[in-house]
Structure 1
Amino acid sequence: MVILTLNCGSSSAKYQVYDWVNKDILAVGVVERIGLEYSTIEHKANGKEEYHAEFSSPTHKEAIELIIRMLLDDEYGVISDLKEIGAVGHRVLHGGEVFKQSALVTDEVIEQLKKVIHLGPLHMPANIMGIEAARKAMPSVPQAIILDTAWHQTMPEEAFMYAVPYEWYTDYNVRRYGFHGTSHLYCAKRAAVLLGKKNEDTNVIICHIGNGASISAVKNGVCIDTSMGLTPLEGLIMGSRSGDIDPAIIPYMMETTGMSAKEMDTVLNKKSGLIGLCGKSDRRDVLKASKEGDKKAALAIKMETRRITKYIGGYATLFGGNLDAIIFTAGVGEMAPHIRLGACQGLEAIGAKLDEHKNKVCFSRNGEFEINTDDSKVKILVIPTDEELVMTEDAYALMTGTYDVHTNFHYTFEDKDYVNKSRELALQKDIAKDPELATILVKQR
């Protein structure tokens, strides 16, 4: 039996096929440019050549249909019949106040998701369209939603409420929700294993740094605060999102330039952050430009890392001196030593000392690494995230009736003997190229 996971973004659809029995990834892929003049698909299956093609995909319906055809294809596919798919897990951006945990999809669930589209207008329509397309293509297969916001539901009121009229919360659901929940959940559970602690005894700060970025404070194994808010716009400086700004800037610029609310939303979400500062969002391009003397790029790096440091320092005060580790994850967190270096400047004040050499050689997305100095009170870890595995396990558990909220549920990656087969093979190749990687691998305690 296999589990299919789908992550439908505003103009893309990522997917993964997981062999539940053998605990191995069979195929991964992504459809991009959905809704544009042409769309593309990139499909990778174990033991087979990669497949790339252009096709027409006006909506997510056509994208899902092509994904299914690829999975069944004689040359590139990994299954012979749709009956081999035991469940489908869908990543959903926003659960609002309605969904506190993953759930099986029903007509009623879809109607409830439609009621919170206004909380995530860029992503929710695509999420829902992907679910509806998959249900139509595979009507007899159980489908599940896995919410980005679910992990953060343990935050106390003083963390998730805003200092605005209270009726905004009761009447319009204005509150902090938080996102990247599956990533934060995975890293929190893995951190407990690596630290040799029970989940309920683990205190960590997780920095999910990618094009989108957020930080989660995890005390006694659950989220107590996070940097993103009502939407994914708040918090850190991101690839194209502004993160925290003075709210008065918004009406000031609208009145000054005549921008509409929709235009302002577009600027803050798609034309700000690193793109707004230096015209580039890929951290590799920003770093290259900085080294070549681009002052705006150099400023962008300093601003991004300073913001991360401020959040880490602020969250550290929530642990009463009992912080176990700071974790970096996601594409940038895992693969950008210069961002980690900048973000860790001054953290000696909270007992976290970065080993600059370990940090520099930590350039692999396949292993779990410890990059702090030997005498650092607080560990600094790099943990490759695995959001798809969280989605896969939730979907399987919902299908079998064994699922529960994450505080009561045990994931396979919480086991000490857990191994990601694909990553382990890739890690050995990385170590062969750079033996120093082996010296900073975290040994499970």
Structure 2
Amino acid sequence: MSFTVLAINPGSTSTKVAIYDGEVLRFEEEIRHSHDELREFQTILDQLPFRKEVIIRTLRSKEFQLSELDAIVGRGGLLRPLKGGTYKVTEKMKADLRMGVSGQHASNLGGLIAAELGEGYEIPIYIVDPVVVDELESVARISGHKNYEKMSIFHALNHKATARKVARELNKTYETSRFIIAHLGGGISVAAHMNGLAIDVNNALGGEGPFSPERAGTLPLSAFLDACFDQKHSKDELNKQLIGEGGVVSYLGTTDMREVEQMIASGDEYAALIFDAMALQVSKEIASLSVHFGGNLDAIILTGGLARSASFVSKVSERTNFISKVIVSPGEDEMKALNEGAQRILVGEESAREY
């Protein structure tokens, strides 16, 4: 039986919309939002009517009726920590999304828009694997000081979807697999996945792990503390050093790794150094997580946009293939992952979780 699902993914400067019939994509649209359009709204929540109307217009242009739907699934936002899976959008969840209980981001609108579009149609509304998925082992939460507990914030949607895909290719299930997965994008998250749970991962928004095209990762703490108190930088400026203006862009002035590879090809030795340093840090993060598995690891998986770079993949693979075989699954199809999460519930493969 084929179920028709609307997937919604609000990003900081775009809204993606897709219709699936089972696993078949009927159509997908990415609506870009200009700075002038978005600056009219004081808060993320204020954007909700605007983004909802954009989606309605897009569906009308495709002559699609909401009455055709069996379910709607939205990108999960910054909720309270939860286990991975597909969740029903409930009143409690909507209240936390409106409040921004764990922070403000456009993804908070995913479940809210989905719920409003579904009103009156008596169809289920879901979110899937938001970035706040937290399945850390207790021992992995210990930071080094009792006042600070490690948090799990990572690219859970792509991690989990890629894990399921590779597990099928290996004739296994995600729940019986043992992977280290590195999501390589604007932010980088590396996680140990054991038997269907991400038991250890760097906080990709919390100044941990490898540096990335736009994030600093783990910095020398003493030097950063000095910067916090030297009265030369505001808190906002320091936050930007961690996220947005850290990593590759702080060294080379660009977040586009294709440009970096062009610099290297033209003989820029400094660009080559930074490129190799990021690959080294990713490799070290993978190696550090390998201690969870005692040599019993099914695969190291490289995914995300940067996994399309043959040079970067080669550098990481050469440093880590002694641990386990390296499988490359480039890109991140978030819309497909959202649909798959909803379809698993609709076909009875899984049960929807309660928030």
TM-score (norm 1): 0.69
Task: Report the more deviating stretch, 279-288 or 339-348.
Answer: 339-348
Partner Cα separation in structure 2 for residue 105 and residue 239 of structure 1: 33
Which residue of the partner structure matches residue 387 of structure 1?
334
Q: 1:159 aligns with which of 140, 153, 178?
A: 140
Unmatched tracts of structure 1, length 5 or more: 40-57, 169-173, 351-377, 407-445
Q: How does 1:281-430 map to 2 (within 5 A)?
A: 281-333=255-307, 335-350=308-323, 378-384=324-330, 385-396=332-343, 403-404=350-351
RMSD: 2.7
Q: How does 1:14-163 map to 2 (within 5 A)?
A: 14-20=16-22, 23-34=23-34, 36-38=35-37, 59-73=47-61, 77=62, 79=64, 81-97=65-81, 101-115=85-99, 117=100, 119-121=102-104, 123=105, 126-141=106-121, 142-149=124-131, 152-153=134-135, 155-163=136-144
> Residues 402, 317 of structure 1: CA spacing in aligned structure 2 closer, same or farther, 3 A cutoff?
closer
Query: 1:300-328: CA deviations, max 9, x gaps?
Result: 20111011110111122221111221111
Which residue of the partner structure matches residue 177 of structure 2?
202
Q: Does the 8 A contact of 1:96 with 1:177 survive in 2?
A: no
TM-score (norm 2): 0.85
Larger RCO: 1 or 2 (CA < 8 Å, sep 6+): 2
Q: Does the 8 A contact of 1:178 with 1:228 survive in 2?
A: yes
> Residues 319, 16 of structure 1: CA spacing in aligned structure 2 closer, same or farther, 3 A cutoff?
same
Q: Does the 8 A contact of 1:274 with 1:280 survive in 2?
A: yes
CA shift at 1:243, angstroms?
A: 1.0
- SS of 1:64's equivalent in the other structure is helix
Partner Cα separation in structure 2 for residue 347 and residue 324 of structure 1: 13
Structure number with greater Rg is 1
Identity across the alignment (%): 25
CA shift at 1:118, angstroms?
A: 5.6
Partner Cα separation in structure 2 for residue 8 and residue 233 of structure 1: 24
Query: 1:187-224: CA deviations, max 9, x gaps?
Result: 22222222233444422211111122211112234322
CA shift at 1:160, angstroms?
A: 2.8
Partner Cα separation in structure 1 for residue 166 and residue 282 of structure 2: 20
Unmatched tracts of structure 2, length 5 or more: 39-45
> Residues 64, 161 of structure 1: CA spacing in aligned structure 2 closer, same or farther, 3 A cutoff?
farther
Partner Cα separation in structure 1 for residue 179 and residue 89 of structure 2: 33
CA shift at 1:89, angstroms?
A: 1.1
Count of residue pairs the alignment pairs up: 341
CA shift at 1:83, angstroms?
A: 0.7
Which residue of the partner structure matches residue 41 of structure 2?
none
> Residues 322, 133 of structure 1: CA spacing in aligned structure 2 closer, same or farther, 3 A cutoff?
closer
